A and B are shown apart, each in its own frame.
Chain A
Amino acid sequence: MSTTELHVHNPVEDLLRQDRIPTIWCPGCGIGTTVNSFAHALLGQDIDLKKTAIVSGIGCSGRVSGYMNLDSFHTTHGRAIPFATGLKLANPELNVIVYSGDGDLTSIGGNHLLHAARRNMDLMVVCVNNMIYAMTGGQAAATTPGAANSTTTPYGAFEPELNIPQIVDAAGACFVARWTAFHVMQLERTMAKALKKKGFRFIEILSPCPTYFQRKNNMGDGLAAMVDYKKRSKIKNGCPTWETVLEPGGEIIVGEFVDREREDYLTRMRRQLGSNYTEFPPQMEEHESEGCSKEC
């Protein structure tokens, strides 16, 4: 069945920790699909992979960092962005990508999302939105649309869903886009573009959760969700983000919504500090390696 006559090689594999595959993701989950777009976007760029770090929080999508053959940081629930902020500030040479889920980034980590966007911290944030807390067994999320069922909303949710692009836009992100796991090629192009941009870049990706979201709402399997995305999606590049609300059963507005130039945190810091800033002196190497004296 497999082709052996040629030394063919899937380039994505170079970016994966082979010894960690297969992934923990369910059959029909779309997270792995988004990883393909991400890997191709990374490979297609003139990016030093040695200087590229990926940071995740907790959840199904939080496992992405650990499958990527990059510097991988799997942090605490909701706090991938502040960890990534520290990483970037202390070594501005790093390309820092945050890859996590909707619950992680917008609910428990919502405050960090707002403030990293406000600071225009030079981070690329990928938010895989499966509209539910999947790792913990299908509880309602801030992104669970309308009256959808979940294990904690057996009578449907009583609260409206978050329109993530709108809040990230309002907070000041310089790049905001949304695709679904169906839009693999568009997603790759958008990610490639975002990788090259400086400042806070945010990409939301709708992704099927057949085990919980689809099942709890009689929406079929992962494939049915992908077909549904294909049917319901409407590409509207430049669409004002207040129009990108995900109405249950309605149009899924996708595309690149925001792409603006704004000075990022570190650039602004350097500019404002002027002569008050001294370049990093070499530190760690400088220290005497004799250990600690009793007096210190």
Chain B
Amino acid sequence: MPKGSVAITTERCKGCGFCVEFCPTHVLELSSAFNAKGYHPPHMINAEKCSGCNLCGMYCPDFAIFGYRNPVDKPQKGTHS
């Protein structure tokens, strides 16, 4: 399981690309799909590299994306991947 993930509210996205450009681990890409307003929202292309640092969230001018850390499974390590 990757350390983190992102939550995207696609309909708020205006496709500025800030999150894609400044993601330190290059997790994101603007999708070829459109949202209702005709923008290309981001999607994860390297989900396993996401650290959940939320830099994407800090950059997003439209409050459309944010990163979070996945909870760490402490006791039962290796039970599933």
Q: Which residues of A contact B (CB under 8 A)?
A: 1-3, 6, 8, 10, 12-13, 16, 21-23, 25-33, 35-37, 40, 182, 184-185, 188, 221-223, 226-227
Contact = CB atoms under 8 A, between A and B. Distances in A.
Contacts of A28: 14, 16-18, 61
B15 A27 contact: yes
Contacts of A29: 16, 61
Given A8-B68, A27-B16, A21 B7 contact: no
A112 B9 CA distance: 40
Contacts of B60: 32-33, 36
Interface in B16-75: 16-18, 21-22, 31, 39, 41, 43, 55, 57-63, 66, 68, 70-71
28 contacts: A1-B31, A1-B43, A2-B9, A3-B6, A3-B7, A3-B8, A6-B68, A6-B70, A6-B71, A13-B63, A21-B12, A21-B63, A22-B12, A23-B61, A26-B14, A33-B58, A33-B60, A35-B61, A36-B57, A36-B61, A36-B63, A184-B58, A185-B58, A222-B18, A223-B16, A223-B17, A226-B18, A226-B22
Interface residues of B, number: 30
Contact of B57 (A3, A12, A25, A26): A12
A2 B58 contact: no
A222 B66 CA distance: 19
Given A2-B10, A27-B39, A223-B21, 13 more contacts: A2-B7, A12-B63, A23-B61, A26-B14, A27-B16, A29-B61, A33-B18, A182-B22, A185-B55, A188-B58, A222-B16, A223-B17, A226-B59
Nearest to A23: B62
A84 to B, nearest CB: 24
B56 to A, nearest CB: 10
A130 to B, nearest CB: 12
